[in-house]
Amino acid sequence: METKYIVNNLSGQTIDGNITITGSIYSPNITGAITNLPSPSGTVNYDCSIGTTFVHFGVDATSDWIVNLTNFDLPEGCSTSIKIIASNADISGNTWKITGFNIDGVPQIWTKSWTNGARNTLYIYKFTIVNTVSGIVAYGERTTTTPA
């Protein structure tokens, strides 16, 4: 007979070390911290030790930029998602976008799926990152919305 453990509340608990789970995990509500950043341009460092959702809140991009994930650790055979939210336009009407994807300064193989946006559009970038035997591959997807 299989033993199952049900944990209803881990509030206030600290776990040191690794956790290995065989089987499935279900959680209806997993949340993470949001990291607010200044206007993106050039190469922007996104520190994964403090979160996986990054927002360039209340500021427009000033040029195309390159994503550089720092403190990023992904074991082989695993995947994760990183989200970046940014306004795409400056006051001159230029539309800016992510043009490169690095991990700790090393350019990665990546496939992007996004189209040109319009001024006053909020971009939500999602990178699904997979670490295979052949190495890390990232898939970028961008959705757009118009802020209310």
pLDDT value at position 18? 75
pLDDT, tens only, 43-70: 999 999 888 888 887 677 788 899 999 9
Q: For residue 4, what pLDDT band results from cuts at 50, 70 and 90?
A: low
Provide the residue type at 32 as one letter.
G
pLDDT value at position 88? 66
Domain ranges of the chain: 34-145
Nearest alpha carbon to residue 75 among 17, 124, 135: 135
Return the HEC string of 95-148: ECCEEEEEECCEECEEEEECCCCCCCCEEEEEEEEEEECCEEEEEEEEEEECCC
> 41 phi and psi, to 5 degrees?
-165, 155
Q: Residue 57 carries which DSSP code?
A: E
Identify which has the larger pLDDT, 79 or 17.
Answer: 79
Q: Determine the 3-state secondary structure of 73 from DSSP.
A: coil
Tokens read off for 43: 């190469």
Which range, of 13-27, 63-77, 88-102, 132-146, averages the lowest pLDDT?
13-27
> Across residues 120-134, what is the average pLDDT?
81
Distances (CA, A) of 90 to 17, 23, 33, 37, 85: 45, 47, 27, 16, 15
Q: What's the half-sphere exposure (Cβ side, CA atoms, 13 Å) at 86?
A: 29
pLDDT value at position 1? 42
Q: Is residue 80 scored above 70 in pLDDT? A: yes
> Across residues 94-114, what is the average pLDDT?
85
Q: For residue 105, what pLDDT band results from cuts at 50, 70 and 90?
A: very high
